Amino acid sequence: MSQQTDEALVIVAHGSHLNPDSSTPTFAHADTIREADAFETVREAFWKEEPSFREVLRIVDVETVYVVPMFISEGYFTEQVIPRELRLQDWDVTDWESDGTSADHAAYTATDTGTTVQYCGPVGTHDSMTDVIVQRARSVTDDPNVGSGVGLAVVGHGTERNENSAKAIEYHADRIRETYDFAEVKAMFMDESPEVDDVATLFESDDVVVVPLFVADGYHTQEDIPADMGLDLDGPGSYPVPGMVDGTQIWYSGAVGTEPLLADVILERAADAGADVAGAIERVKQQTGGTAIDVE
Amino acid sequence: MDRESDPVAALVATVAERSISYDGLSVSKSDGLYTFETTERQVTDLTASALGETAAGDPFVDNWFHWTQRSRSTAEQAFLRWVEHAEERSVPERDAALTSGGVVREWGQLRITATVVDGDRRYELRHSDDRDADPAELERFVDPRKAREIATTDDKGRYRPLKTAPSLSTGWLFPELTGASLVEAIDFFYPATIQNWSLEREGELDVTNWAAAADRQSGIYAMVDELSGEQLEWLTEACCVDSQCLKRREWDAADGEEIDTPRGAGAFPCREPCSVVISAARKWTQIEREDTERYTFELTPSEKDQLEALVAAVADGRIDEIREAEFSDPANRQRARYLRAKRFDAEGSLSTESERPS
Ligand code: SF4
């Protein structure tokens, strides 16, 4: 095949056969990045939608592709499914030298297209995701200075499916605790303790922001978690913000993946792998409210 | 004028380095003089400046410039030339068609009309069912990315998990796309179809048969490799025929083991079982693990016909067409309710006596 441009960005996400909202954040962030002129070509690919991981590299038709997984943690998808389906030659998870949350990037050749793939760690474990969680808290409270006097819960699945999933939640909760001035910060889970069901009793603060570390809204974020917390659920995705549970005001944000600033994390991943996108990162931060984050 | 934007400048600069032969145009240099030849005329012994004058405004030169001096991928180039029948029709024939009404091609449920306006190619894109629609009645779009939204739901607002299902919604129009934006829009409607079609034309399509695709699966899908033989006939009949998917199935059970289900007549190939099929296959694998039992129950001949008609109505997607009070249709809702009230128990099960075949 002839080569059109030199570099492209491919965002790989789970997608869904049943729920069109599953891919919405991926498309939205891809569009933000397109508009920031970061790459000549940006394309989305999905496990459950099209283009599939198997066929996306032939679409972008370039020599070097940065592949960034829209996944929260390292595990089955980032370590087995995506490398297999992209046909990364000699993929070896140890190339990432990861402790479960520190996967960075590694280069491979795709055996069908010959593309050089800079395979990056998932968005969920990048340091800049910490800032997106805080930005999400600011969005849901409509308070750019939210922190002092307010509790923050970062919520994930828990270890039942994947031990790294809990690690990613705890990693960001620790970073927020160190860097920002929330009164309390806790990692909470759906299927292990501390359980999100107990959010109102485990926090002392009168106001608690709850941010689920999920890439897209779906059953878990729209029905499961709000119901578990005791919010008045009036159909999927329909709950009060803030909602009162046992005397605590719960500011439930919905999936962190829908926060516009997440586009920045995708670009940061590509930049860490060598993409020349510093200018685009600035433009994306400006556009998505990320420049307000200068606490660090 | 430079060779980037001016066909004559590009031609003169190119032929100074090498001969040109393209779509009926030949230009060559010998002993410092040029020969310019098309299927319409031949001019010899030209100096460089006389070559420029001869070439100016010649449709063969514009055609050569359009198709050779712009950067396109192999697939994009092949597709855009296919759209205007460039391999079968001469330059004057094509020019005549492109400037008067345009050249039409269909790609799945898409209808592409290529035209030349002020020397530039423009492509109109709409649903093939809207072929006779008044453009003023269709919702107009400019940005090819809008195709992604159009492709998400069908005319009834239902989500379309399979992009090449023949359920693309109607009522929209991209009136004037460039070649590159046409390809982009089509990639959002039918991802990777242009690339796989092009690979197939080059004899390089990498088909993955069922056996290899199933073998590759892991996690909850690892079980699908249990399906084989007739089950794959049923699976492809269920999912892959033209009434369900517009891709032409090129994969089979395994090397040398063909699946007899019709492959489909689509323009673009399917190179391996898709995620929808793998996901359905998981369900069928679970069901196929069950043993059969023998059931005894009584139905009148009309009731048996009715059960068959109900399955057919769901399988053929005909439910929405069955009218209220259309009692002649065995799949009518009230008729189904009557049958349920009569023959099914409180749990909704057909009242039967069952036994395992000995
Ligand atoms: S596997 Fe079947 S349903 Fe899926 S894309 Fe191919 S032909 Fe269509």
* Residue B236 lies in domain: 210-288
- Measured in Å, residue B307 CA sits from the centre of ligand 1 at 28
| Residues contacting ligand 1 via CB (< 6 Å) | B 164, 239-240, 245, 247, 249, 270, 273-274, 276-277
Beta strand spans in B84-167 (E) = 103-107, 110-117, 120-127, 139-140
Position B4 pLDDT exceeds 90: no
Q: Which residues of B touch A54 (CB under 8 A)?
A: 272
Q: Which residues of A touch B163 (CB under 8 A)?
A: 49-50
- Measured in Å, residue B239 CA sits from the centre of ligand 1 at 7
pLDDT digits (tens, 9 = 90+) for A50-101: 999 999 999 998 999 999 999 999 999 999 999 999 999 999 989 888 888 8
Instruction: Return residues 190-209 of B near A (CB < 8 Å).
Output: 191-192, 195-196, 199, 206
* pLDDT for residue A16: 95
Mean pLDDT, chain B, rounded, equals 95
For residue A147, the distance in angstroms to the closest alpha carbon of chain B comes to 38
Task: Round to whole Å and give the CA distance between A70 and A256.
Answer: 12
Q: How far is CA A292 from CA A132, A138, A265, A288, B278, in A?
A: 11, 10, 15, 10, 45
Q: Which residue has the tokens 């004057």?
A: B92
* pLDDT for residue A295: 35
Q: Residue whose CA is closest, atom 7 of ligand 1?
A: B240
User: B39 Cβ partners below 8 Å, 6+ apart?
Assistant: B24, B60, B90, B91, B92
**How many domains are there within chain B?**
4
Same domain for B228 and B261:
yes
Mean pLDDT, chain A, rounded, equals 91
pLDDT digits (tens, 9 = 90+) for B45-82: 999 999 999 999 999 999 999 999 998 999 999 999 99
Instruction: Specify the ligand 1 atom closest to the Cα of B236.
Output: 2
Domain ranges of chain A: 5-125+259-288, 128-258
CATH fold for domain A5-125+259-288: Rossmann fold (3.40.50)
Architecture (CATH level 2) of domain A128-258: 3-Layer(aba) Sandwich (3.40)
* pLDDT for residue B1: 63
* pLDDT for residue B357: 59
pLDDT digits (tens, 9 = 90+) for A224-257: 999 999 998 888 889 999 999 999 999 999 999 9
- Measured in Å, residue B270 CA sits from the centre of ligand 1 at 6
Same domain for B345 and B246:
no
Instruction: Specify the ligand 1 atom closest to the Cα of B249.
Output: 7
Same domain for B191 and B102:
yes
CATH number of the CATH domain containing B148: 3.30.1360.190
* pLDDT for residue A101: 85
pLDDT digits (tens, 9 = 90+) for B90-121: 999 999 999 998 999 999 999 999 999 888 99
Same domain for B346 and B303:
yes
Same domain for B24 and B136:
no
Q: Which residues of B touch A49 (CB under 8 A)?
A: 161, 163, 275
Residue A50 and residue B163 in contact, taking contact as beta carbons nearer than 8 Å: yes
Same domain for B158 and B92:
yes
Answer yes or no: is B2 within a domain: no
Same domain for B179 and B107:
yes
Same domain for B159 and B51:
no
Task: Round to whole Å and give the CA distance between A277 and A288.
Answer: 16
Position B145 pLDDT exceeds 80: yes
Residue B347 burial (10 A CB sphere; 0-12, 13-18, 19+): exposed
Confidence bin at A19 (pLDDT 50/70/90): very high
For residue B138, the distance in angstroms to the closest alpha carbon of chain A comes to 24
Q: Residue whose CA is closest, atom 4 of ligand 1?
A: B274
Alpha helix stretches (DSSP H) within B45-192: 48-55, 59-68, 74-83, 91-99, 146-150, 179-189
Beta strand spans in A16-101 (E) = 41-46, 62-69
Q: Determine what percent of chain B is predicted with pLDDT higher than 70.
A: 98
